Chain A
């Protein structure tokens, strides 16, 4: 049966795949595409602000670009790229053949994808959302047109996908670890993915609730956020930030995980203070839920709430500091090789520390009354998210590219990308701290001359173009590598420590011919140090049970995509309701089919595996 599957076209293969490695590639392509879109929007923003009273993007249109930049980067670029890394690496790192629920994994991707496409359709259908990525209730209810409806429905759909992904990885990491892979032997990236998945599980429901309220208000005559009808707009702020703050950690913890792997690998040392790193990760995840109201210090919550949230926020600096010093001491005494991923990891430390300390400054509530909603905050969170998350994603892409695609990215081009991006990043955002302190509010489409904002904004714009150039070189690198890159070995960097470097690059669809026996932290390193070629198997060679591909995840998501259009227009067009219900029927019908059709999967036979493994060894 497996041979039948292989004959189908590549496109059909990817539309129906439930293989975590192919889903990782789908996430990488889709997330990468949205990253380019969000980056282009960022460039437009910087062009508009390059000089005072500019008229490149004025008023409402600027607000649309600004909103879509934030929303796209967080929900459609950073999140899926994190999921790309998790899908590509986590199952292999724990010695599993796939995630716990492969079908759900595919469904998660397609929901995210259609949600993202839906959101971006707004550009062509009357205008994008324009109330900021936070979409505060009073402004978003006032917003004319369908922009906010695209935001609400698009995020709702892609949010389902993220929630499913989170649950899937929780179950996978709890249940699918290879024999001997105890919790305290899990690689740091797996730990980070585990905690992040738990955060997703608790953080996304509040967002879902908020989005449902807003959908009711905007499309079905609800009054959740209308003060005159007994509603309250501050509730939206709370719901959004109860999701929104953990979201920062959902993004940054896997970033920490990626860097932990890279520091250990290229210093040729085990991670310093592994158990305190695990502890710090869990603690950050926990505290991440206790601090949301620091985004609302100026909302008028009163001094007691402000003081409590201020102190709680400061507390997060402690576990984060532990991590920084552990990374430094992982390198201490090591044998550091400056590959492209390691360059990102090294540059991450000072960049992220900058973002971290301004975070503590923001936590000082009384002083935050000045920083809040100024460019100081813009600088702060870009230092955290670009200096932390984007650096990590770039590092991770370079680090695991050979594992995912079987070819090494060009190091010279990789290092050029790195330097351009690093310089551009600091050039763009460092000066923004001072713009904020000098009194420039954020989210302004222009500024008047004579207020001292001219030079800073111009420098910032120049920096943005450096980052754009870096991204173009990265794309060139990807194209060149795909065309004629050097073939990667299983242990592509030669110094791999964790299980993913024990399987071929790219890995066979069953990952491990025999499930490995894990004998300690850095399982592969242990075997290598004992002079062994491969892993110790935990089972005899036998047939491997695999899940069947299915088009249903695609169809279920497509149904919701169609339904969203219908319900969005139901107030103006009579066909809206029918299309909406029709879309839901497609979704529910496919779910019904999934429930009633028996799907036993298929087996890859022992002989086939032996054949394939011989090919790798030869």
Chain B
């Protein structure tokens, strides 16, 4: 796509536009600062279509301004009757043919990009290549689960991926329809309740560094009261670090030394373990996994996907989940906890670390 654009004389116009648009938004979130192959392709298409459309607007505006100024009624002309023109075949052919040409210029790269973005053959090979990374994304009312079927590990809320290579996704929802969107890295795909969708993304290492090592992910389909708060984060890592992370995850188990945290563990095992797992290896079927996996909770950057990651916010969330995320499925499932119990639980949860 990039090369194709270079061939265009319009390139200079594009760079000006790109410069203007790049001022918009944050590098970890904006589609205007593309951070990978998919977003790049889409951004080029955006620029091309915007250029064509700006051209159309300019032409219309010039005629418009001229007409509105030149032909307005002037003093003393109130009785004047202008010539009643029926039409003009030449003009009509011109403004039929030119738009068709402009649309063809846009249609060809659109169709080509649409097919490229849907190429998921490598993930569906009978024997998948060892290096192909596949993630099963399962969207749930206000939280995300990321399962790595080839490594047998599960994590939640924070997606970890290798950079500079295509990562493939299976997408589905377990309750209502959601939509999986990492704006800076590429367009969205819906997670349906009926079927599994597939697509791929590529995460650029340089862009990731610029974005501070984290991209923001969003739910893009209205899914209930806390739709606005169904955020997730993406941690792109160089392939080597990613492999190390996978190894650590495979063997991770909670290590509790602190006595308060031990108390917390006891409470957790009584009230929470029914839904939440604390090891990345969770052999239960997905229907049983009704809450986020907490194996690396202590390493995360957000509480409940949105609040800053500190003990105070965690206590707030445990005390009254609905005050943080209205309509969530955790509220009311574990009875009332005393402040001491919440403190212990907080200590325990914060100690769940893999790194």
Contacts and interface: CB of A to CB of B under 8 A. Distances in A.
B220 A364 contact: no
Given A322-B95, A333-B82, A451-B216, A360 B103 contact: yes
A63 B56 CA distance: 37
Given A234-B194, A353-B60, A364-B45, A321 B95 contact: yes
A209 B129 CA distance: 47
A298 B31 CA distance: 16
A338 interface: yes
A370 B46 contact: yes
Contacts of B189: 298, 300, 369
A315 B173 CA distance: 34
Q: Which of B64, B86, B91, B95 has the most CB of A within 10 A?
A: B95
A336 B216 contact: no
A176 interface: no
B322 to A, nearest CB: 9
A439 B25 CA distance: 8
A331 B68 contact: yes
A448 interface: yes
A328 B94 CA distance: 14
A325 B82 contact: no
Interface in B34-86: 39, 41-42, 45-46, 49-50, 52-53, 56-57, 60-61, 63-64, 67-68, 71-73, 77, 80-86
Given A276-B92, A335-B81, A350-B60, A372 B183 contact: no
Interface in A298-353: 298-300, 302-303, 306-307, 310-311, 314-315, 317-318, 321-322, 324-326, 328-329, 331-338, 346, 349-350, 353
Given A322-B92, A369-B186, A60 B31 contact: no
A370 B31 contact: yes
Interface in B226-278: 226-229, 231
Contacts of A232: 194
Interface stretch (B2-10, B107-115, B341-349): B107-115
Contact of B177 (A233, A370, A434): A233
B332 to A, nearest CB: 14
A374 interface: yes
A318 B99 CA distance: 6
Contacts of A442: 220, 222
A360 B53 contact: yes
Interface size class of B (residues with CB under 8 A): 35 or more
A303 B115 contact: yes
Interface in B191-249: 192-195, 197-198, 216, 218-229, 231
A142 B95 contact: no
A298 B176 contact: no
B285 to A, nearest CB: 15
Contact of A443 (B92, B173, B222): B222
A315 B114 contact: no
A40 interface: no
A350 B218 contact: no
Contact of B84 (A269, A363, A370, A438): A269
Contact of B100 (A300, A318, A361, A444): A318
A437 B47 CA distance: 12
Contact of B228 (A302, A368, A374, A447): A447
A437 B45 CA distance: 13
A335 B77 contact: yes
B190 interface: yes
A363 B48 CA distance: 13
B139 to A, nearest CB: 11
A136 B177 contact: yes
A267 interface: yes
B17 interface: no
B107 A311 contact: yes
Nearest to B56: A357
A310 B110 contact: yes
B226 A357 contact: no
Contacts of A60: 224-225, 326-327
Contacts of A270: 84-86
Nearest to B173: A138
Contact of B220 (A353, A361, A374): A374
10 contacts: A63-B225, A130-B225, A139-B224, A234-B194, A276-B92, A310-B114, A314-B106, A318-B100, A318-B103, A452-B26
Given A302-B118, A314-B103, 17 more contacts: A60-B224, A130-B225, A138-B173, A139-B222, A233-B192, A298-B179, A300-B189, A325-B91, A326-B87, A335-B73, A336-B71, A350-B64, A369-B117, A439-B218, A443-B228, A445-B228, A450-B26
Interface of B: 21, 24-26, 29-32, 39, 41-42, 45-46, 49-50, 52-53, 56-57, 60-61, 63-64, 67-68, 71-73, 77, 80-88, 91-92, 95-96, 99-100, 103, 106-107, 110-111, 113-118, 171, 173, 175-177, 179, 181, 183-184, 186-190, 192-195, 197-198, 216, 218-229, 231, 306, 326-327
